[in-house]
Structure 1
């Protein structure tokens, strides 16, 4: 990499390379060598910007969590439009069709990464806990609009959707689930909480 390149550019280049490796080859393939090879940079570039590989991975995960802000805003804005099940099905597909599934596996199987993330993220797996909050906020908005039953337990529904969605999408080697399967999962989870799905 040429000298004088901004640090942020190098970080973004490494983050993008990590995402490509994760999506193409899975979490086990994401090593420091694979990362720098994919990014087309010398190994020293990684160590110039991060204390070690686990420090890089922690910042990568948190960066991907921050990028969920746009998804959160889009889902919140969808409240009161379309159908509740349709909105959630699209959001679930967008969430798990991204790098999220691979990030969850990465965090699950790397003890050092989990320990480092605990310094800034005290509970849960960052991508999943952020997604659960996103779904709960949306469901709360729908409940306030009267499209969910007043007693609907939005937190439980949100966590159930995230857990079931992760299981549905987790098999990276198979084709993604059909939209009908995602919709069925969502409608089953919602149960009788939805008062009028046509509104």
Structure 2
């Protein structure tokens, strides 16, 4: 890139490039060189905006977690419409159809990244924890509407759904699970707590 050319929102450009590399080639391919090459910028651009690559990755992960806010609002606003199983199955599919499934191994295998994330996100893998918060919020809304039993352990069901969903979607190289498989998993977890 020629010098003197202003980059528009370089952080977003670099984060989008990182997401493309991560989705296409996996966590092991995610290097500062791969990100800057994908973004079409000089390698020094990344280091001008971030202290080091792990600082970049921590901000990237947190940025992708923040993007889940719209998914959370959309799911919560679906309370009382459609079916509880259908709404949760769609949310799980959307979550794991995104970059979330690729972020999990990235966080697990980079000790320095996990250490940095703990400063802003003290528990769990951020995308999974945020997914559980999203589902718990929705299930609580359905509980208030009487479509989920008042005794349903929402704070236990939500991480169970996210964990089971992650297992279904974890193999990035294979075919994604069918909608029926996701629906069946959600039905199994929630079935005893659903109300007509």
On whether the aligned pair clears a TM of 0.5, the verdict is yes
Q: Report the equivalent of 1:5.
A: 6
2:74 paired with 1:74 = yes
Equivalent positions of 1:121-136 (< 5 A) are 121-136=121-136
Q: Report the equivalent of 1:117.
A: 117
For structure 2, the residue ranges without an aligned partner over 5 or more in a row are none
More displaced 10-residue stretch of structure 1: 61-70 or 33-42: 33-42
1:89-142 C-alpha deviation (Å, 9 max, x unpaired): 000000000000001111011000000111111111111111100000000000
Q: Report the equivalent of 1:192.
A: 192
* Separation in structure 1 between the aligned mates of residue 56 and residue 90 of structure 2, nearest angstrom: 31
Q: What is the number of residues matched between the two proteins? A: 195
* Separation in structure 1 between the aligned mates of residue 186 and residue 34 of structure 2, nearest angstrom: 37
1:19-48 C-alpha deviation (Å, 9 max, x unpaired): 000111111110111111111111100000
TM-score (norm 2): 0.97
* Separation in structure 2 between the aligned mates of residue 105 and residue 78 of structure 1, nearest angstrom: 30
Instruction: Report the aligned-residue RMSD.
Output: 1.0
* Separation in structure 2 between the aligned mates of residue 3 and residue 20 of structure 1, nearest angstrom: 26
SS at 2:120's partner residue? Answer: coil
* CA apart distance, 1:4: 5.6
SS at 1:119's partner residue? Answer: helix
Give runs of ≥4 in structure 1 deviating > 3 Å: none
Q: Report the equivalent of 1:100.
A: 100
Q: Report the equivalent of 2:54.
A: 54
